[in-house]
Amino acid sequence: MNSQLRMYAALLGVLFFSSLFSIYTSASIGDYLHYAFTACFVFIFGKMVTTAGALTRTVRLCCIGIGIYCLCILGYGENIQDRIVFGTMFDPNDIAYYVLGFLPFNLIMIRSGPVMKLLGAGNIVLGLTTILRTGSRGGLLGLILVLGYLLLKQTKTLALRFPARMIILVVSLAAFQVAQINVDRFKSIMEVESDYNATDEQGRIAIWKVGLRLIAENPLTGVGFNRFTEGVGRDRQERDLDQARWQTAHNSVIQIGAEAGVPGLILFIALTVNAFKIFRRSTRSSSAEVAQIAEMAAAGFLGQFVSALFLSQAYSAYWAFYIAISSLLLRLMEQERGEPGKTGLGAAAPRAVPAIPGAGNARYRA
């Protein structure tokens, strides 16, 4: 078990501890047991996906699945207040978060055979259209950063000269203008003073302030696993507000800090920062496959994290998926640096048998 998995295991322990001291203990423990499925996934992933090739196939399947999901959203979703809505699993902001987190991996598919190229290009078009149709401003900010990263940073995956990158940017901006998108909603990002999120008690700024108070009042254990909503409701009741509404955090960092205390907050940030460091180091791998996965993981995780600053996704399976990817890349890089008995891609190294007496310098492999 490497450092990433050890930190993740420590986070699980902190979350369980916070559940025991929750403002609603039975509900927190029930939610924690439900989250155990995500935790099991992280460790099972580490056992089953052990090579760069297996990881490439895994993210390729994820991209194909998300492409189908985007096709269903665009084909069967409803437009409500100029935002596309599909089913009850995700709201529009969550859809943007989910799709954006995997969007860059399609560039790896484009570098494969003809069928994969076609699927990858189609998935990118579907993904971009879906993100913009959701009207998610957090998703748009994340998308801008991802596109900026991909267009400005030299990568092995997207090996284009600067003029070609600028052409892609101009075409993307033109598509943004002609697509059926609620442009006025995105423009409101620049009108912070008049946005309800900055002025209303039920806006994000007010909720974040409550979250910071909850962290200050419960620094060791927080208010309990998945109990931010109750914490907000009780805070408003104590202030005798007419509408003591229970609301989610709309910020994953504040969410986990308020629910799991400072220890949980530190571990969450440490895991996230360490994942970015691992992705950066892995881009220098001698294996082109590892380097490409790391480059696109850095881009996808950046977009996901920025979007999560406006969502309650601290316990998201998709954040955990990136932690699992970072753990595998860390293991592959350690093997590449010469861990005994391993090769750079995680396969067992050939084992030589000592020379047989009388056979000269001949060597035989087991």
Give the residue extent of every domain in the chain.
3-187+206-239+246-337
pLDDT tens-place values along the chain, 366 residues long: 899 999 999 999 999 999 999 999 999 999 999 999 999 999 999 999 999 999 999 999 999 999 999 999 999 999 888 889 998 888 999 999 999 999 999 989 888 888 998 998 889 989 998 998 998 989 999 999 998 888 888 777 776 566 656 666 665 666 555 555 666 666 566 666 666 666 666 778 889 999 999 999 999 999 999 999 999 988 888 887 766 578 899 999 999 999 999 999 999 999 999 999 999 999 999 999 999 999 999 999 999 999 999 999 999 999 999 999 999 999 999 998 875 444 334 444 444 444 444 444 433 333
Q: Are residues 137 and 187 in contact, defined by beta-carbon separation less than 8 angstroms?
A: no
State how far the Cα of 56 lies from the Cα of 290, in Å rounded to an integer: 9
CA angle 145, 148, 150 (to 5 degrees): 110
How far is the C-alpha of 356 from the C-alpha of 212, rounded, in Å? 71
The single-letter DSSP state of residue 218 is: S
Q: Which residues pair with 364 in a beta bridge?
A: 353
Distances (CA, A) of 184 to 3, 181, 187, 190, 270: 45, 9, 5, 11, 37
Cβ–Cβ < 8 Å for 361, 352: no
